[in-house]
Every structure is written in C-alpha cells, then in structure tokens.
Amino acid sequence: MKRAQQGFTLIELVMVIVILGVLAAVALPKFVDLKGDAVQAATDGTAGALSSATAINYARRSINSANGVAITTAAGCTSAVVGPLLEGGLSSQYSTSGTAPNCTLSNSDSSPAKTASFSAPVIN
C-alpha cells in the first residue's frame, strides 16, 4: 500500500510568504509614527493640566489676592509663571509662549516640536 504524500508544495509556501509580505507592507506605515502621536497626546494632556491649574489659580486669587500667582497679559504665558502652578513643575522639554489668556505649549521632545494651546486667565 502506497501512502499519499502530505504537506505543502514549495509554490504554496512562497505564495504565503508573498501574501504576508504584502500585508506587512500595507500595515506597517500605520504604526510607524506612534511616537509622534504619543508626544502630541502628552503635550495635549499637559496643556489641559496647565489650563486647569491656571483656572484654579484664578479662583484662589479671586478670593484672596495673597494666594496664587498674578498672571498679567505680558508675562502670563511664561514657563516661570505657569510652570510652578503644576505639582512638580513643568518638565524641561516644555516651553510656553504667547500673551495671556491665549498661550501655547511646545514640546521639544520630537522634531518638529509638537504644540498645544491652553488658556491662562489674567488676574492681578
């Protein structure tokens, strides 16, 4: 009794490898810029935290002018003013710019730098 051979032919194996290669070539670009997306998400999160911190500062300073930090139009968006409002301060990779109440946060951890906007209400 002769037994039938089992297994795949060389052509079948080559075709499977080609199909996997095509699928990898199509799917790979979708996952290449994950670091850029992560840096942008971190920048957006930090900008949101700064916006919340400046709103809390505004409320504290409205109740008692001895509390909180004065945010003026000219200096309101500098890292020296808004950075200390965050617990632990503002990380060195971030810089702020703009004129209060419209501020911009830049993250130099990627090239080009990722940016996000936040609000810093003016209060003396």
pLDDT for 12-23, tens place per residue? 999 999 999 999
Instruction: Report the chain's terminal Cα–Cα distance, integer Å.
Output: 99
What separation in angstroms does the CA of 12 have from each of 9, 16, 22, 24?
Answer: 5, 6, 16, 18
For 54-96, how does the pLDDT look when each residue is reduced to its tens digit (9 = 90+)?
999 999 999 998 998 888 887 778 888 898 999 999 999 999 9
Contact 73, 122 (CB under 8 A): yes
pLDDT score recorded for residue 117: 95
